[in-house]
Amino acid sequence: QVQLKESGPGLVQPSQTLSLTCTVSGFSLTSYNVHWVRQPPGKGLEWMGRMRYNGDTSYNSALKSRLSISRDTSKNQVFLKMNSLQTDDTGTYYCTRDPYYYSGDLNWFAYWGQGTLVTVSS
Amino acid sequence: DTVLTQSPALAVSPGERVSISCRASEGVNSYMHWYQQKPGQQPKLLIYKASNLASGVPARFSGSGSGTDFTLTIDPVEADDTATYFCQQSWNDPYTFGAGTKLELK
């Protein structure tokens, strides 16, 4: 059974760095792409970036200067780090997975974690 | 970035047919996908590549379109379909989502 679960601090101070973990089960990170998507409260969704099955990463250009995605395949975990947080970074952060293994970039989000709410506030 | 435009809200009665539109600012081939999100839940994939029904999704949901204009249709609408519906394109970098259409039942 495919599962993704996000974890991290619920509260981050402005200008600080956000660190989130996506722990997956039921599939291998060396076979599937995993993405991060976020959603401000009451608003729409924003694709942040992806960790490809081969270890390559790509980022939304709007966030690229602040964002880093990495992984630990032995622990089945994908990590997100984003620095210089501001109040408009408040929202729910999701990790998601592509539908097919060894897939390219023209994909959709077949599986989602439950999300983790991050509040940026002093 | 590719902007996806959706109407903000619709209200329909159970048993009726509803069409939710999504217009892209540039062509996305057939790489338009639809998600349903209920309050407090993560989005759920409904339709992929414009017209393909995701696994486990009722046949009441269907999708159509190509290029820049796409439609999600629910026929007939049921009370459980109250939710916000998002379109998403994966043809152009970066992936982008529409702002969502909130479907309410009368």
Q: pLDDT tens digits for A62-94?
A: 999 999 999 999 999 999 999 999 999 999 999
B105 touches chain A (CB under 8 A): no
Tell me if A108 and B33 make a contact (CB, 8 A cut-off).
yes
Question: Considering only CB atoms, which chain B residues are within 8 Å of A58?
Answer: 93
Instruction: Please tell me the predicted confidence (pLDDT) of residue A104.
Output: 83
Q: Is B27 in contact with B86 (CB distance < 8 Å)? A: no
Instruction: Tell me: pLDDT of B7 over 90.
Output: no
Preceding peptide of A99 cis, ω within 30°: no
- CA of A99 vs chain B CAs: smallest distance (Å): 10
- Rounded Cα distance between A110 and A100, Å, is 9
If you average pLDDT over residues B22-31, what whole number do you get? 97
- Rounded Cα distance between A70 and A96, Å, is 15
From the list B15, B33, B37, B16, the residue with the least C-alpha distance to B24 is B33
Instruction: Tell me: pLDDT of A105 over 90.
Output: no
- Rounded Cα distance between B4 and B19, Å, is 16
Residue with tokens 């982008």: B96
Question: Considering only CB atoms, which chain A residues are within 8 Å of B49?
Answer: 108
Instruction: Please tell me the predicted confidence (pLDDT) of residue A78.
Output: 98
A16 touches chain B (CB under 8 A): no
> Residue B82 CB: number of other CB atoms within 10 A?
15
Q: What angle do CA B97, B98, B101 make, to 5 degrees?
A: 135
Smallest Cβ–Cβ distance between B86 and the set A44, A106, A107 belongs to A44
- CA of A101 vs chain B CAs: smallest distance (Å): 16
- Rounded Cα distance between B46 and A68, Å, is 30
Q: Which residue of A has its CA nearest to B6?
A: A44
**Structure tokens of B87?**
């379109």
- Rounded Cα distance between B28 and B92, Å, is 7
Query: What mean pLDDT is reported for chain A?
Result: 96
- Rounded Cα distance between B32 and A106, Å, is 10
Instruction: Please tell me the predicted confidence (pLDDT) of residue B59.
Output: 98
Question: Considering only CB atoms, which chain B residues are within 8 Å of A104?
Answer: none
Smallest Cβ–Cβ distance between A106 and the set B35, B91, B98 belongs to B91
B102 touches chain A (CB under 8 A): no
From the list B50, B46, B48, B31, the residue with the least C-alpha distance to B81 is B46
Q: Strand ranges (DSSP E) for B1-106? A: 4-6, 9-12, 18-24, 32-37, 44-48, 52-53, 61-66, 69-74, 83-89, 96-97, 101-105
Instruction: Please tell me the predicted confidence (pLDDT) of residue A101.
Output: 84
